[in-house]
Chains A and B, each alone.
Chain A
Amino acid sequence: MTTGSLVLEPGQFEPPAGQITFLYLPAQDLFVRRAARLRQLANGHALGGYLQFLASLADTQQTALQRLPAPVLPAPDEQRLCRQHGMPLLSATTWPREPVWHEALSAILRQMSQIDLPVAAQETIRSLARQTPAYLERQAGLMLMEEWEELQPNEAPFIGAALQVYWLRLASALDAQTVGRLEPSGRCPVCGSRPVAGMVRGDGLRYLSCSLCSCQWHLVRVTCSSCRSTQGINLHTLHGADDPVRAESCDACNSYLKLLYLEKEGLLDPIADDLATLALDMLLEHEGFLNAGSNLLFHPGRGPE
Chain B
Amino acid sequence: MQVTRRQFFKFCAGGVGGSSAALLGLSTGEALAEEVRAFKLTRTTEVRNTCPYCSVGCGIIMSSLGDRAKNVTTTIIHIEGDADHPVNRGTLCPKGASLLDFIHSPNRLHYPEYRAPGSSEWKRISWDEALGRIARLMKQDRDANFVARTPDGLTVNRWLTTGFLAASAASNETGYLTNKMLRSLGAVALDNQARV
Interface residues of A in 252-305 (CB under 8 A from B): 278-287, 290-295, 297-304
- Which of A156, A292, A293 has a CB less than 8 Å from the CB of B20? A156
Query: Is B196 an interface residue, CB under 8 A from the partner?
Result: no
Residues of A within 8 A of B27 (CB): 46-50
Query: Is B144 an interface residue, CB under 8 A from the partner?
Result: no
User: B12–A184 contact, CB under 8 A?
Assistant: no
A287 to B43, CA, bound (A): 12
User: A300–B9 contact, CB under 8 A?
Assistant: yes
Residues of A within 8 A of B19 (CB): 153, 298-301
Say what secondary structure dominates the interface of chain B: mixed
Instruction: Decide: A20 near B84, CB < 8 A? Known: A222-B48, A241-B65.
Output: yes
Query: Is B103 an interface residue, CB under 8 A from the partner?
Result: no
Cβ of A45 to closest chain B Cβ, rounded Å: 8
Instruction: Decide: A146 near B7, CB < 8 A? Known: A154-B23, A236-B41.
Output: yes
User: B9–A235 contact, CB under 8 A?
Assistant: no
User: B1–A184 contact, CB under 8 A?
Assistant: yes
User: B10–A47 contact, CB under 8 A?
Assistant: no
Query: Is B70 an interface residue, CB under 8 A from the partner?
Result: no
Query: Is B11 an interface residue, CB under 8 A from the partner?
Result: yes
Residues of B within 8 A of A117 (CB): 24-26
Query: Is A238 an interface residue, CB under 8 A from the partner?
Result: yes
Cβ of B63 to closest chain A Cβ, rounded Å: 7
Residue-wise, chain A 228-241 has the 8 Å CB interface mask toward B (1 for contact) of: 00100111111111
Query: Is B121 an interface residue, CB under 8 A from the partner?
Result: no
Please, which residue of chain A has its CB at the minimum distance from the CB of B32?
Answer: A46
User: A205–B16 contact, CB under 8 A?
Assistant: no
Interface residues of B in 23-71 (CB under 8 A from A): 23-27, 31-32, 34-36, 39, 41-48, 61, 63, 65
User: B24–A300 contact, CB under 8 A?
Assistant: no
User: A233–B12 contact, CB under 8 A?
Assistant: no
User: A154–B20 contact, CB under 8 A?
Assistant: yes
Number of contact residues on B: which range applies?
35 or more
User: A236–B43 contact, CB under 8 A?
Assistant: yes
Residues of A within 8 A of B89 (CB): 16-18
Query: Is A148 an interface residue, CB under 8 A from the partner?
Result: yes
Query: Is A28 an interface residue, CB under 8 A from the partner?
Result: no
A278 to B32, CA, bound (A): 8
A154 to B20, CA, bound (A): 5
Residues of B within 8 A of A233 (CB): 45-47
6 contacting pairs across A/B (C-beta < 8 A)? A18-B89, A124-B24, A149-B6, A230-B48, A234-B43, A304-B12
5 smallest beta-carbon distances between A and B, as pairs: A301-B18, A204-B83, A118-B25, A120-B25, A18-B89
Point out residues on B near A: beta carbons under 8 Å.
1, 3, 5-27, 31-32, 34-36, 39, 41-48, 61, 63, 65, 77-78, 80-84, 86, 89-90
Point out residues on A near B: beta carbons under 8 Å.
16-18, 20, 46-50, 53, 117-121, 124, 146-149, 152-154, 156-157, 184, 187, 203-205, 220-222, 230, 233-241, 243, 248, 278-287, 290-295, 297-304
Having A291-B10, A301-B18, one finds 17 other A-B pairs with CB under 8 Å, namely: A16-B86, A47-B26, A49-B26, A118-B24, A124-B23, A154-B23, A157-B24, A204-B83, A205-B84, A221-B82, A235-B43, A236-B42, A237-B44, A240-B42, A285-B11, A286-B14, A304-B13
